[in-house]
Structure 1
Amino acid sequence: MIPAEQSKGFVKSRLDRLRATLTGHVEHGGVPGLVALVARGDDAHVEAIGARSVGGGPVARDTLFRVASMSKPVTAVATMILVEECRLRLDDPVDELLPELADRRVLRHLDGPLDDTVPARRPITVRDLLTFRMGTGILMAPPGSYPIQQAMDALQLGQGMPRPSVVPEPDEWLRRLGTLPLMYQPGERWVYSTGSDVLGVLIARAAGRPFEEFLRERLFEPLGMTSTGFSVAPEQLDRFTTSYWTDPATGARAVYDEADGGEWATPPAFPAGAAGLVSTVDDFYAFSRMLLDGGRSDGERILSRASVELLTTDQLTPEQKTLSNLVPGFFDTNGWGFGCSVVTRHTELGHPVGQYGWTGGLGTVWGVDPKDRVTGVLLTGRAFTSPVPPPVVQDFWTSAYQALAD
């Protein structure tokens, strides 16, 4: 017999502990508000704690957050839809659809001048974009540390904290990117993020319609992700959060982006596949359920089971992990699939082997455990201060897994 305090997947008293822990982070000023979802199969529990802004109205289950890099797995799924339709092939060069990236030059030294280059040994492929092995991306170094970083910033390519209002439209964005050499040879090592932005342009050209339309028609509408997109409509702004960050000059909390009149209040010129989306916990739960069900949703097949398995399998070689960097030790316990991380060693409570997902630097995290069918989504309005998840994220995963009924 199942004890009265035990649900199908969780122990109620331990879910109460999760709520108390998250409430503490809000009350102590770590985040102004948050919405958290933990689910095991059909058994989902949501906590909405705090406010949409400092001194503002309360968050609710349907509150909208900027999910930043949680956009990456969505972009990867969209890419695999086109691979399954044979409009893209994983190991084909992208040159035909993206001629701006043909005949690449590669920096001889990362810290060298931009004209000190050698020819690329091979073209960039679709697989390179999905696995972040295209040869360029966001370097985990202070802004301006390398000439190539300075050049990317000068061209307003949006390869840093998300700023939708400053990035040009897709064709111009890719033209500018194509004027720069690669940092490394294609396929050589993992370099963060830029591959997902390139995929957004590739998807639009392969599908023959704008990236945001393709996502809406092929993913968001079939999955019921009615609140997910690259901007917030005027009639939904009362559900939207203000975004905060830690001012690098003062160390104090400051407004990063307002809800009303901010950068996500109007459609962007460049719908960023790497970090542009706004969403809710239930929309990401629907996305997670589709992946857990092998690509199906309410009887409709969105993606094949084989594609889901490939997308969520570690794709990096040991050598590539050694050459790459995110934070020290990350690739000792994690790999990278298509647009998401994959846990490869069980060293922490809340991160079992096989769990896949990713974080959003503006204060969000998502993960799916296919073995125990556990989904976790945590959305906050406070940007992280480093690639290492803050205590609220660590405590969320610990609290979610300590609440499992078995």
Structure 2
Amino acid sequence: MKAGIDELLKAAVDRGDVPNAVAVAADRNGIVYEGGAGPRAAGSDDAAGPDTSFRLASMTKMITTVAVLRLVEQGRVDLDAPVADYRPEFDELMVLEGVDGDVPKLRPPASRPTVRRLATHTSGLGYWFWSADLAAWEEATGVPNVLAGDARSFTAPLVADPGTRIEYGHSTDWLGRILETVSGPTSPPGRDAPGVSD
């Protein structure tokens, strides 16, 4: 079986279907297969394998949202509470109305965003690739976007007033911070707690 799966993964990489592939299979008795094909990273000679880390990007949004909704079911999170009840620093965020040269034009939001607004992408938070103003703010301030894994990305301003429109952005990253606050971060034995680096 191992040789067949190895060949399947290698063929997908060789055809150019994927840059690399890693697979792990298990049954009730434990792991029955683990292997990989292709380079760990573009231009690397290191092979991808079961210990390779992958960026899941927006696929984590559903996992985080479900985890927070479990806390709602347990009565530990209130969907209609202001985000700042759990993360006070959220109240420091302003609405970005543009950038004049290299000076961001900011104002207070018309209302306080709630946890529900984070979960429904109506908090006013956005992404730089949908908002030229937010991209200009990042350039003017030197604050990186969320892809950098830098905690400063949580200082990015809102691009709309809460509740006024759906805006695909990093609302779920803030939901993750609420999850950490309420549940406390956990980590596997021998590893540091997961989270955004400072």
- Figure out how many residues of one structure are paired with residues of the other and give that number: 180
Deviation at 1:91, TM superposition (A): 2.0
Structure 1 contact 139–192 (Cα < 8 Å) conserved: no
Counterpart for residue 255 of structure 1: none
After superposition, give the CA deviation of every residue in 1:242-292 in whole Å (9 maximum; x if it has no partner). xxxxxxxxxxxxxxxxxxxxxxxx7666269xxxxxxxxxxxxxxxxxxxx
User: How much identity, in percent, do the aligned residues show?
Assistant: 25
Q: Give me the whole-angstrom Cα distance separating, in 1, the residues matched to 2:125 and 2:69.
A: 22
Q: Does 1:138 align with 2:127?
A: yes
1 CA distance for matches of 2:180 and 2:170? 16
For the Cα contact (< 8 Å) 1:125–1:134, is it kept in 2?
Answer: yes
Which residue is 1:195 aligned to? 171
Query: Residues 186 and 159 from structure 1, CA distance in 2 versus in 1: closer, same or farther, beyond 3 angstroms?
Result: same
Q: Which residue of 2 aligns with 1:33?
A: 20
Look up the match of 1:107: 96
RMSD of aligned residue pairs (Cα, Å): 4.0
1:155 maps to which residue? 143
- Structure 1 residue matching 2:95: 3-state secondary structure: strand
Is 1:82–2:8 an aligned residue pair?
no
CA distance in 1, matches of 2:131, 2:161: 23
What does residue range 112-123 of structure 1 map to in structure 2 within 5 Å? 113-117=103-107, 119-123=108-112
Measured after TM superposition, the shift of residue 191 of structure 1 is: 2.9
Write the distance in 1 (CA, Å) between the matches of 2:62 and 2:137.
Answer: 26
Write the distance in 1 (CA, Å) between the matches of 2:126 and 2:158: 9
Equivalent position amino acid for 2:164 in 1: E
User: d(CA) in 1 for partners of 2:117 and 2:194?
Assistant: 26
CA distance in 1, matches of 2:79, 2:53: 32
TM-score (norm 2): 0.66
Instruction: Report 1:203-214 matches (<5 A).
Output: 203-207=179-183, 209-210=184-185, 213=186
TM-score relative to the length of structure 1: 0.36
Q: 1:61-117, CA deviations, whole angstroms, 9 ceiling, x for partnerless residues?
A: x45432332222222122112111212111221222222222754234x45552353
> Equivalents in 2 of 1:268, 1:66: separation in Å?
14
Q: Which amino acid aligns with 1:201?
A: R
1:128·1:187 contact (CA, 8 Å) conserved in 2? Answer: yes
Any gaps of 5 or more consecutive residues in structure 1? 1-15, 39-45, 217-225, 234-265, 273-406
Letter in 2 for 1:125: T
**Contact 1:137/1:159 (<8 A) preserved:** no
Contact persistence 2:96–2:134 (CA under 8 A) = no
Q: Distance between the aligned counterparts of 1:96 and 1:270, measured in 2?
A: 21
State the match for 1:183 in structure 2.
159
Q: Per the alignment, do residues 190 and 35 of structure 1 end up closer, same or farther by CA in structure 2, a change over 3 Å counting?
A: farther
Equivalent position of 1:339 in the other structure? none
Distance (Å, rounded) in 1 between the aligned partners of 2:48 and 2:83 = 46
Q: Distance in 1 between matches of 2:140 and 2:76?
A: 33
**Are 2:98 and 1:98 aligned?**
no
Q: 1:37 to 1:131 in 2, by over 3 A?
A: farther
Which of 117, 124, 129 aligns to 1:128? It is 117
AA aligned opposite 1:33: N
Are the aligned partners of 1:93 and 1:124 in contact in 2 as well (CA < 8 Å)?
Answer: yes
Once residues 130 and 170 of structure 2 are traced to their aligned partners in structure 1, the CA distance between those partners, rounded to angstroms, is: 15
Q: For 2:94 and 2:34, locate their aligned partners in 1 and report how far apart those are by CA, in whole Å.
A: 50
- For CA contacts below 8 A with separation 6 or more, give which structure has more relative contact order: 1
Q: Are the equivalent residues in 1 in contact too, given 2:78–2:115 (CA < 8 A)?
A: yes
Q: Structure 2 counterpart of 1:78, which letter?
A: A
- Per the alignment, residue 62 of structure 2 pairs with 73
The AA in structure 2 aligned to 1:191 is: E
